[in-house]
Chains A and B, each alone.
Chain A
C-alpha cells in the first residue's frame, strides 16, 4: 500500500542547476500539493492542484513550477536552484480540496540541499 511516493529522497544541487521532484499517489485522489518545511516555519504550501489539469500558486511559489501530468502524478521543478531553496519538500494528496474535511496524506519527503 504505497500511498504517496516521492523521489528522490535526497539531492544536492549546485546553484543554478535545475531538477524535478516527482510525486505519485495511488489513492485516486483529486487534489495534490507540494509543501516545503523549514526549521521554525512549519509547512508552507508551494503549489497545489485541485484536480487533474489545474494548478494554482500557494504561499511560496516563486522559483518553482509544477505539472499535473495525470491524476496520479504531480511534479515540482526548480528551474534555477538557489541556496534559499534548501529545504525538505513534501508532496501530499487528498480526495478533494473541499472544506468538508478530507484527510490529507503525505509522502516521506525529499531533502534538497543547494550549495
Chain B
C-alpha cells in the first residue's frame, strides 16, 4: 500500500526566507507526483505536476524535484511572502491503485511579515 508522508506538519518562517517542503512515498511505481496549495476554507489548487520521467518542474518562485528511487519530492518556494501562507499537499498517482491519487497529510505554512 502506498504511504505518502509530509514532514513537518507545520512550518513557520520569516518573510523572505526560502521554504523547503518535503514529501516522501513508499511505492516508487508512480505515474506522477503533484503539489497542491490549500487556503483555509477552500479547495485544492494544483501548483506543479512532475511526471515520473522528470526530475523537476518550475513555475515562477516554485520548484519541485522528484527522486523516484529514494521516494522523495521537495517543493522549494523562493523568497517567501505572507501570501504563501497556506497548507501544501503532495499526491502521487500510481499504477497499482488504478491511477488514483494518494495524498499526504499536508504541511501548514505560515510566513510572518
Contacts and interface: CB of A to CB of B under 8 A. Distances in A.
B104 A104 contact: no
Interface stretch (A11-19, A41-49, A61-69, A70-78): A41-49
A42 B44 contact: no
B68 interface: no
Given A41-B105, A99-B32, A103-B34, A90 B43 contact: yes
Nearest to A111: B41
A43 B103 contact: yes
Interface residues of B, number: 26
Nearest to A9: B41
Nearest to A90: B43
A40 B106 CA distance: 8
Interface in B76-113: 89, 91, 93, 95, 98-101, 103-106
A105 B46 contact: yes
Contact of B46 (A99, A100, A103): A103
Given A42-B89, A45-B100, A104-B101, A99 B31 contact: yes
B43 A99 contact: no
A115 to B, nearest CB: 21
B46 A101 contact: no
Interface in A82-115: 90, 92, 97-101, 103-109
Contacts of B42: 108-109
B58 interface: no
B100 A108 contact: no
**Majority-rule SS of B interface residues:** strand
Contacts of A103: 34, 46, 49
A108 B43 contact: yes
B43 A107 contact: yes
B43 A106 contact: yes
Contacts of B28: none
A109 B100 CA distance: 19
A98 B45 CA distance: 19
A109 B43 contact: yes
A4 interface: yes
Interface of A: 4, 40-45, 48, 56, 58, 90, 92, 97-101, 103-109
